Chain A
């Protein structure tokens, strides 16, 4: 399910897309996972790749260990594969790395007290916007009902209107 969600959402990450700043990278081009690191079991390897994509190479700048060619990233990739071979679940592998390197290693922060605002922000912004929209709509509607232009005609005005229309 999680995998589905992720893939699904990546797909919708719309964007005319692009590297915004041009002053890229002081590091070498990313080399990422090497053939000699890969596990023989394709299922296990696929899991390793997926986990790697969510782990930060801590000495790099905003790169996952799957993309990075830093030595540390290689060490972490090997470590992830070792844990998987030892029979860890995906979550156990992540826990193991967090225990060693701290929360910083996760590219998707866990939902907890200090990240509550972060995780709630998108939905919060949407709800806040919707409330503002609703309130201002109600107020406008209310205001325009009271506006002089919207006041119903009184009897004299109706008679006058009838007279004009009749003449026209």
Chain B
């Protein structure tokens, strides 16, 4: 019964999305207040309906209702509670429902927080959100319905893929979807601006919090997924250039560019046409990602949906939205009035440079991801494009960007002073060079990349800090005054500093672990000791054990340094009964920013076992850097000018001239 109610709620949501797609947009055209006012309540109720549907499916999972096909296929009565909940989105149908739930959530949020927005803009934004809802709700109801019943319900379910039975899975997809579905709002803003034929700095200020929110969640989602792969897959890799990773990485690159270009638009009323295009492209890449993942078109570690009818449906959605929005753009963009002018060497110029490299990098990833597919379709030739290609092409595009990062915040708007900026960065540059030289001296000639990489990472991090140091005049005025200046700095300055600092930290982690990781792959007898990275790892033995839906062999290792016992490490090899699948559970010990990583292989005769151990220096910085970036995003989000109800500046109203 509850399942049917959920199904019914979903159909109602579809009906509401039709209303939301038509009425407000028509109202905005006719300048009819009453029609436009329909948008907000409809968006709210639609969220409620999708929420009910989602709750109904969750209920079916919690009660292990195997008469629901989706539950039978992906759940098991022995499964722990948390994985019954996360199992709701651990499959195609459920994850699409989560996608739409988040879409409806963003629609409702725009409706709730957009009270002070101009009525036509709000009506158009919600109207476009309605189109997206309509498309994806139809997709779910017509091709991927999670509420289908089975006539003769089996007694037991088939269980969730064991690799997905992990806390990482519980958190990763919702975060990721909040990120890339969040960009639907910026897309709707862009489309609304084009429909309306007008755009101004106030528009940029309305849209910026949404860009930030989406970007924060996407950053968290990607970092979380990376850490999950790191500990779950058993060899400690953190980024694989897998097509599905790329699918989430491309919107991140485009979204990061958008974050920066919207800044130019907001502050200087320039770069409008480009910002609108970028907003469209970012969400288009999210849609493309959804298509690549959901259609199973890629041969990737992640591929799982193989029904082509779904693929064709999403492809149609993709074509309509990307084609439609780009046509609208081609038609309307020339009418948008260009704003403020600036010299090439200026804050604006620096932000454009950022956009140039980020979009080029994004294009490189896009081409690399789709090329094998395109070549296969057109010529039948099969090639692989993997990590070595991306490392070779993506890397060089990032180096100039990273080198330029510290300069940006030192340049003034309109016309900057590059020489002045360079002088202010002298200290940062000198420190980075010294660090690079020290690394080079320690490493010798054998490893040239380490000093250069560490030097650049240090440059980015120290450069970010120098900006704040310079702004608060640290050391040039009494300390107390510096502190009060620091307290008076806009939150967005702290946000930029933290964002750039985090970027540097992530890079430092990547360089360090690439250059100095140590690996031992060997067979160990009980009692044997191996040393790695200055630590001694002793194998104590293997004991079997049983969990709720798996059995496992747990290896016992003691980790010592200089004879001092530090930790017991217990990596395991699990075997999930329902799906007859093995997984590895690695054991990780963290010391400062470094980690010791142990995972198990097959058991050998006489209690021996194959094991892999790694010493990973500074590896946690990869993810901590992302966390710092996210904190930076939160700082920017809390900036005064972005808060709801902040008064609009008068001169923006003057710039807002209709193009018609």
Residues of B within 8 A of A24 (CB): 161, 163-164, 229, 301-302
Query: Would you call A33 and B304 a contact (CB within 8 A)?
Result: no
Closest CB in chain A relative to B128 CB, distance in Å: 25
The reply on B352 being an interface residue by CB < 8 A is yes
Kindly specify which of A72-80, A85-93, A123-131, A151-159 makes contact with the partner chain: A123-131
How far apart sit A108 and B449, CA to CA, in the bound complex (Å)? 21
Binary CB contact string for chain A from 113 to 130 against chain B (1 if under 8 A, 0 otherwise): 011011101100110011
Q: A29-B583, A137-B344 are in contact. Are A107 and B235 (CB under 8 A)?
A: no
Query: Would you call B368 and A20 a contact (CB within 8 A)?
Result: no
Contact of A22 among B225, B357, B503, B522 (CB under 8 A): B225
Q: A18-B227, A126-B357 are in contact. Are A114 and B381 (CB under 8 A)?
A: yes
Residues of A within 8 A of B389 (CB): 107-109, 118
Query: Would you call B601 and A20 a contact (CB within 8 A)?
Result: no
Closest CB in chain A relative to B248 CB, distance in Å: 3
Query: Would you call B235 and A61 a contact (CB within 8 A)?
Result: no
Query: Would you call B398 and A22 a contact (CB within 8 A)?
Result: no
Query: Would you call A10 and B223 a contact (CB within 8 A)?
Result: no
Closest CB in chain B relative to A6 CB, distance in Å: 6
Nearest opposing residue in chain A for B379, CB measure:
A114
Nearest opposing residue in chain B for A49, CB measure:
B519
Query: Would you call A29 and B163 a contact (CB within 8 A)?
Result: yes
Binary CB contact string for chain A from 121 to 164 against chain B (1 if under 8 A, 0 otherwise): 11001100110010001001101100000000000000000000
How far apart sit A96 and B644, CA to CA, in the bound complex (Å)? 64
The reply on B495 being an interface residue by CB < 8 A is no
How far apart sit A102 and B522, CA to CA, in the bound complex (Å)? 33
How far apart sit A129 and B173, CA to CA, in the bound complex (Å)? 33
Query: Would you call B510 and A30 a contact (CB within 8 A)?
Result: no
Contact of B384 among A19, A30, A56 (CB under 8 A): A56
User: Size class of B's contact patch?
Assistant: 35 or more
The reply on B188 being an interface residue by CB < 8 A is no
How far apart sit A67 and B235, CA to CA, in the bound complex (Å)? 8
The reply on B506 being an interface residue by CB < 8 A is yes
Query: Would you call A11 and B515 a contact (CB within 8 A)?
Result: yes
Nearest opposing residue in chain A for B381, CB measure:
A114
Number of interface residues, chain A, beta carbon within 8 A: 68
Query: Would you call B173 and A17 a contact (CB within 8 A)?
Result: no
Query: Would you call A16 and B229 a contact (CB within 8 A)?
Result: no
Closest CB in chain B relative to A103 CB, distance in Å: 5
Q: A12, A27, A56, A126: which has the most chain B beta carbons within 10 Å? A: A12
Q: B368, B384, B452: which has the most chain A beta carbons within 10 Å? A: B384
Query: Would you call A16 and B391 a contact (CB within 8 A)?
Result: no
The reply on B154 being an interface residue by CB < 8 A is no
Residues of A within 8 A of B163 (CB): 24-25, 29
Closest CB in chain B relative to A93 CB, distance in Å: 15
Q: A22-B164, A24-B302, A114-B381 are in contact. Are A4 and B449 (CB under 8 A)?
A: yes
Residues of B within 8 A of A33 (CB): 521
Residues of A within 8 A of B302 (CB): 19-21, 23-25, 61
Q: A103-B383, A109-B383 are in contact. Are A16 and B247 (CB under 8 A)?
A: no
Residues of A within 8 A of B527 (CB): none
Smallest CB-CB A-B distances: 4 pairs: A107-B386, A18-B226, A9-B395, A20-B248
- Residues of A that sit less than 8 Å from B by CB: 4-36, 38, 53-54, 56, 60-64, 67, 102-109, 114-115, 117-119, 121-122, 125-126, 129-130, 133, 137, 140-141, 143-144
Q: List 23 A-B contacts (CB under 8 A).
A: A4-B448, A9-B396, A14-B507, A16-B506, A17-B222, A17-B223, A19-B172, A19-B240, A22-B172, A23-B304, A29-B582, A30-B234, A35-B523, A53-B387, A62-B384, A108-B386, A108-B388, A108-B389, A109-B384, A109-B389, A118-B371, A122-B396, A125-B367
- Residues of B that sit less than 8 Å from A by CB: 90-92, 95, 161, 163-164, 168-169, 172-173, 176, 219, 221-229, 232-235, 237-249, 252, 289, 293, 299-304, 338, 341, 344, 352, 356-357, 359-361, 363-364, 367-368, 371, 375, 379, 381-399, 402, 447-449, 452-453, 456, 503, 506-507, 510-511, 514-515, 521-523, 581-584, 601, 610, 612, 622-623, 625-626, 629
